[in-house]
C-alpha cells in the first residue's frame, strides 16, 4: 500500500485485516514500474537506467561484434528505457531525470557507433541512427 500525496510531510497508514497488519510504504513495484508516494517516478527512472547500463556494458564488452548485433543490443536498451515510458513521462519534466536518461542513452549511441567518448550527443545519435530518448518517450505518451 502506498499513500499518494503532494505534501512534504510524510504520512503513514496502518490497516489490519484479521490478524494481518498492513503498513504503508514509500514505494511499490507493480509490473516492473516503481510507483512512489509523490508520483515523481525518480526511482523508476534510476532502476530503468541501471538495467539499461547492464545491457550497454554487454555491448561494450563485445566490441568485435557486427553492426547488426550492436543495433540489436541498442534496441534492447531502448526497450528497457521505453517500458512504462508514457506513465513516467511527467518525470522527464525535471532536469535531473532528463539528464540521467539522456546520459545512458548517449552512452548506448557512442557504443553502437564505436566513436570516441568526446563526440557530441547529437552526432552520436545521428551516427547510431537513433532518436533521443526524451523525444521517443514524448511520442509514446502522445500515441
pLDDT at position 107 is 86
Q: Looking at the structure, do residues 7 and 65 belong to the same domain, yes or no?
A: no
Q: Looking at the structure, do residues 30 and 86 belong to the same domain, yes or no?
A: no
Q: Looking at the structure, do residues 98 and 130 belong to the same domain, yes or no?
A: yes
Cα–Cα dist 81/85, whole Å: 7
pLDDT at position 133 is 82
Give pLDDT tens digits along the chain (143 positions).
777 776 666 677 788 888 888 887 778 888 888 888 777 788 888 888 888 888 778 767 766 667 777 777 778 888 888 887 777 777 888 888 888 888 888 888 888 888 888 999 889 888 888 888 888 888 888 88
Q: Looking at the structure, do residues 134 and 84 belong to the same domain, yes or no?
A: yes
Q: Looking at the structure, do residues 76 and 91 belong to the same domain, yes or no?
A: yes
Q: Looking at the structure, do residues 52 and 121 belong to the same domain, yes or no?
A: yes
Q: Looking at the structure, do residues 67 and 107 belong to the same domain, yes or no?
A: yes
Cα–Cα dist 63/58, whole Å: 9
Cα–Cα dist 25/37, whole Å: 8
pLDDT at position 105 is 86
- Report residue 74 as a C-alpha cell: 541498442
Q: Looking at the structure, do residues 35 and 73 belong to the same domain, yes or no?
A: no
Q: Looking at the structure, do residues 30 and 46 belong to the same domain, yes or no?
A: no
Q: Looking at the structure, do residues 22 and 46 belong to the same domain, yes or no?
A: no
pLDDT at position 63 is 60
Q: Looking at the structure, do residues 5 and 50 belong to the same domain, yes or no?
A: no
Q: List the domain range (segments joined by +) for residue 108.
A: 42-142
Q: Looking at the structure, do residues 46 and 33 belong to the same domain, yes or no?
A: no
Listed in sequence order, the residues at least 6 apart from 88 whose beta carbon sits closer than 8 Å to its beta carbon are 33, 41, 44, 45, 137
pLDDT at position 91 is 80
| pTM tops 0.85, yes or no | no
How many separate domains does the chain show?
A: 2
Instruction: State the Cα angle at 97 between 13 and 125, rounded to 5°.
Output: 150
Amino acid at each position: 500500500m502506498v499513500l499518494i500525496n503532494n505534501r512534504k510531510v510524510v504520512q503513514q497508514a496502518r490497516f489490519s485485516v484479521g490478524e494481518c497488519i498492513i503498513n504503508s510504504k514509500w514505494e511499490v513495484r507493480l509490473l516492473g514500474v516503481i510507483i512512489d508516494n509523490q508520483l515523481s517516478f525518480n526511482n523508476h527512472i534510476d532502476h530503468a537506467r541501471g538495467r539499461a547500463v547492464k545491457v550497454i556494458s554487454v555491448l561494450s564488452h563485445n566490441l568485435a561484434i557486427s553492426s547488426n548485433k550492436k543495433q540489436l543490443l541498442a534496441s534492447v536498451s531502448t526497450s528497457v528505457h521505453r517500458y512504462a515510458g508514457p506513465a513516467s513521462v511527467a518525470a522527464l519534466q525535471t532536469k535531473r531525470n532528463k539528464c540521467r536518461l539522456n546520459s545512458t542513452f548517449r552512452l548506448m549511441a557512442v557504443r553502437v557507433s564505436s566513436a570516441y567518448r568526446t563526440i557530441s550527443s547529437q552526432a552520436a545519435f545521428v551516427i547510431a541512427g537513433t532518436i533521443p530518448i526524451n523525444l521517443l518517450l514524448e511520442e509514446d505518451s502522445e500515441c
